[in-house]
Chains A and B, each alone.
Chain A
Amino acid sequence: MCARSSSAVAAVAGRFGAYGGRYVPETLVAALEELELAYAAAKRDRKFQRELQEMLVQYAGRPTPLYFAARLTRELGGAKIYLKREDLLHTGAHKINNCIGQALLARRMKKRRIIAETGAGQHGVATATVCALFGFECVVYMGTEDMRRQDLNVFRMRLLGAEVRGVASGSRTLKDAINEAMRDWVTNVRGTHYLLGSVLGAHPYPMMVRDFQSVIGREARKQVMKQAGKLPTAVIACVGGGSNAIGIFHQFIGDQRVQLIGVEAGGRSARIGEHAARFLGEGGAPGVLQGTYSYVLQDEAGQVANTHSVSAGLDYPAIGPEHAGLHDSGRAKYVAASDAEALAACTLLARTEGIIPALESSHAVAELVKRAPRMKKSDVIIVNISGRGDKDIGILRENLRL
């Protein structure tokens, strides 16, 4: 089946092949239906689209450059490397694209209290930012382990006027923050919008967040045609929940010759509990977590496994359902990069191009380092630099002896 048509079918039913759907307590169904209808209306509304576009340009700083990395290209000695610079956006990562879209939607639905989860803190900061801009009340749930390792972002959120609530249950990371956000939503559902930050959760979130992020791929496709004069051989992006990856992949899905490569967090090893590689590591199998049917790291009894990654934003046991569909259909390939490979790639990009990528995006750069030298000089490769590494300075300092 052609990938483009299957994704159109999926959009109607909230399914991507077998994956997706809406697996939530009954209390939330009405709110998800309301959101689905409101989004469908906004999508058709020219005024909404115009306002979204204007804010992406004037406030977030779009379009972001597609930057030809000449020194890195020479250094790796293979394909021509282009970097999609989402790290240059306001707040420092692609997360703002989705937050602006959902904030406009929340205003349309007359919901003035916003809740969100965050792992690395980038989505939390982007949410706190749009809430400040729109005058919304903002509560961000964050695992206490993530608050420790991303403490700069905790302070940024508080500076922006958001309340950050630490979550000390489970592994104290992104998964637990989502659990707590869902508990808040189920309690305050009538006046609250849950501003979910990735292509996860129950329908319509995976479709809606993908739509808001697909601006990345629309720009990149136009830019690469103009600058390189042809389509890329490969597009590489890191995949936690998978919003930056879906965002850049989506416009290329119909271009069958363009390889789409998602990079999962390989962590310390492939043993269960030591990685966050849903397709590649031990323990990944289809299941339901937090509202959606997708690949989930779990044990034999269906209990969700612990994960590990040096990057808080990739440290999550499930993956967006559209990625599960792209994986099973073979349209996208998924690989893993270890903590050590990501740290090395971060250093390499910093020293060849003067760009410090986020540890999440460093996983994509790590795959580039493996792949580019094996490709022809006439090949073009795009890497999505989904965020900048300022937030990771503390972790980088712990891990790199400079």
Chain B
Amino acid sequence: MLRFDHKPALVAYVTCGDPDMETTHAIVLAAIDAGADVVELGVPFSDPIADGPVIQRASERALRAGTTLKQVLTLARAVRAARPRSGLIIFSYLNPILRLGVARFCAAAADAGVDGALITDLTVDEAGEYIASMRQRKLATVFLAAPTSPDARLAKIAEASRGFIYAVSRTGVTGTHADVSSDAQALVERIRKFSRLPVAVGFGISTPEQFVDVGKWADAVVVGSAIVERIEKNLGREAAAVAQFIGSLHRHATSTVSSR
């Protein structure tokens, strides 16, 4: 379920199949138990044009392990069975979904029990068939909004989105960044003119301090590369490392609120 009842909610991204599917399964359950409200199950792709080096490397490792979209959907079903109330989103580039077939993907995703999907290189302009298929299966269509999107596009994005809107914090690829750009807050404010959906802010958020700062004006914070990097650097104890990291985000959030 996509619920954002405490603020800031945490949306956690993992590249599935890095280092293998069994480990991803353990990582996702650990992330949920440590306080991830929504997990984005990333489908690795050979040409991740929107991703920085961390997720590029994870995608290469996952593809070398033979990861496919079908396997990610199987993983989603297992996670759903184990954690019936958590939020689950498929996060993919378009081509693996086209290859499976948009209608077949939507049917399989609904069957696996996910809440929705986000396709990095599919904008609202090209998404007619996808939106129709997703609606039919009662799946949320999450779209990206960017600092470069003019208001007219934000209106279209708001209309096409379900579940939440993913605000890209800055122009650029995924990856950690020292500061969260001032673009991000302005974008969230602009999105709110067009939509009452929760807004999650992502791209470059990696520290407990950034998590708390962004949480002051966004409904949810997406953490991706920082999690994937912990998986990369903690071979053999990936799930524990991710749980610990997510715990540190939440602890910082709690302590900041209570000390106010």
On A, residues with C-beta under 8 Å from B are: 21-31, 169-170, 175, 179, 182-183, 186-190, 285-291, 296, 298, 300-304
Contact = CB atoms under 8 A, between A and B. Distances in A.
Given A182-B49, A287-B95, A301-B70, A30 B153 contact: yes
A243 B228 CA distance: 39
Contact of A186 (B95, B126, B172): B172
B144 A25 contact: yes
Interface stretch (B32-40, B83-91, B117-125, B194-202): B117-125
Interface in B49-76: 49-50, 52, 56, 60, 63, 68-70
B125 A287 contact: no
A186 B46 contact: no
A301 B153 contact: no
Interface residues of B, number: 41
A31 B147 CA distance: 12
The residue among B60, B93, B95 with the most chain A CB atoms within 10 A of its own CB is B95
B145 interface: yes
Nearest to A296: B95
A285 B45 CA distance: 17
Interface of B: 45-50, 52, 56, 60, 63, 68-70, 93-100, 120-123, 125-126, 143-150, 153, 157, 168, 171-173
B123 A26 contact: yes
A153 to B, nearest CB: 24
A186 B50 CA distance: 8
A304 B95 contact: yes
A175 B97 CA distance: 20
Contacts of A286: 98
A211 B239 CA distance: 53
Contacts of A300: 99
A289 B145 contact: no
A269 B95 CA distance: 25
Contacts of B100: 302
A67 to B, nearest CB: 40
Contacts of B146: 25-27, 29-30
10 contacts: A23-B126, A25-B120, A27-B171, A27-B172, A29-B146, A287-B95, A288-B121, A289-B47, A302-B98, A303-B63
Nearest to B148: A30
Contacts of A290: 47, 49
Contact of A22 (B50, B63, B120, B123): B123
The 10 closest A-B pairs by CB, nearest first: A302-B99, A302-B96, A27-B146, A301-B68, A187-B172, A26-B144, A30-B148, A304-B46, A26-B146, A302-B95
A304 B47 CA distance: 7
B56 A25 contact: no
Task: Among B50, B120, B168, find the residue whose CB has the most chain A CB atoms closer than 10 A.
Answer: B50
Given A187-B172, A189-B171, A290-B49, A301 B148 contact: no
A192 to B, nearest CB: 10
A34 to B, nearest CB: 10
A188 B171 CA distance: 7
Contact of A29 (B46, B60, B69, B149): B149
A326 B45 CA distance: 28
Contact of A23 (B52, B68, B94): B94
A301 B46 CA distance: 11
A298 B157 contact: no
Contacts of A304: 46-47, 95
B46 A303 contact: yes
Given A170-B47, A303-B95, 12 more contacts: A26-B157, A29-B148, A30-B148, A183-B50, A186-B171, A190-B171, A285-B99, A288-B95, A291-B121, A298-B99, A300-B99, A303-B45
A302 B126 contact: no
Nearest to B93: A288
A169 B56 contact: yes
A226 to B, nearest CB: 44
Nearest to A187: B172
A364 to B, nearest CB: 28
Contacts of B97: 302
A58 B126 CA distance: 42
Given A169-B56, A190-B148, A27 B168 contact: yes
Contact of B50 (A25, A29, A287, A296): A25
A291 B120 CA distance: 11
Contacts of A169: 56, 60
Contacts of B93: 288
B125 A175 contact: no
Contact of A187 (B46, B126, B171): B171
